Homo-oligomer: A and B are copies of this chain.
């Protein structure tokens, strides 16, 4: 699992605490291309092959293995990258101020495209990485939604007669479903966010 003699990159995963593992610009660029290709390919189907990914990235298969020792490692990395990008996109958004329902509207508007882009990756990750690992990776982005909903519950806007956890699940699930529906043409890309928002607000809001 760690026997690279002369082939490609000297370091695959940056040692957590250590130096940032200086790589040549060349390599860095290829790694980017590979991750992007992996996102596309896994998006098309959970059973994308390394060959297919390498070809999509415009890179030799050997180079791919040089950077990612195994299929599993690649999938893990691409998921992590996606989550990081999602986190970055959500950092601009202030979820902790203003009325919870308004904040939810903003969150949906932002999450929308992100989820749409990474939705299909989830299936692949679930199949090959296990739901524990996936859930663990999602924790940081998940906490945003959780915090918002909890705040809404405390403010009496969101329902408290169902578990917070379940409301978070509802958020994710319906967002995924809306993205899928838009892909299938059952929802137009323009109306989808509005429809989703409407349904989600109803689902989360306590009635009285």
Say whether chain A's binding surface is mostly helix, strand, loop, or mixed.
helix
**Is B186 within 8 A of A177, CB to CB?**
no
Can you pick out 22 interface pairs between chain A and chain B where the beta carbons lie within 8 Å of each other?
A: A123-B123, A161-B198, A162-B199, A163-B186, A163-B187, A165-B186, A165-B187, A166-B178, A166-B181, A166-B186, A167-B199, A169-B177, A169-B186, A170-B174, A170-B199, A173-B173, A173-B176, A174-B174, A200-B203, A202-B202, A202-B205, A207-B207
Q: Does A195 contact B (CB under 8 A)?
A: yes
Residues of B within 8 A of A165 (CB): 181, 186-187
Give the CA-CA distance A184 to B181 in the complex, in Å.
26
Copies of this protein in the assembly total 2
Give the CA-CA distance A161 to B159 in the complex, in Å.
22
B170, B198, B200, B202: which contacts A177 (Cβ < 8 A)?
Answer: B170
Residues of B within 8 A of A173 (CB): 173-174, 176-177
B131, B166, B202: which contacts A187 (Cβ < 8 A)?
Answer: B166
Given contacts A174-B203, A202-B205, 13 further A-B contacts (CB under 8 A): A46-B46, A47-B127, A159-B198, A161-B198, A162-B195, A162-B198, A162-B199, A165-B187, A166-B178, A166-B186, A166-B199, A169-B177, A173-B174
Q: Which residues in chain A, 128-178, are within 8 Å of chain B measured between CB atoms? A: 131, 159, 161-163, 165-167, 169-170, 173-174, 176-178
Minimum distance in angstroms from A65 CB to a CB of chain B: 22
- Of all chain B residues, the one with the shortest Cβ separation from A176 is B173
**Is A169 within 8 A of B198, CB to CB?**
no
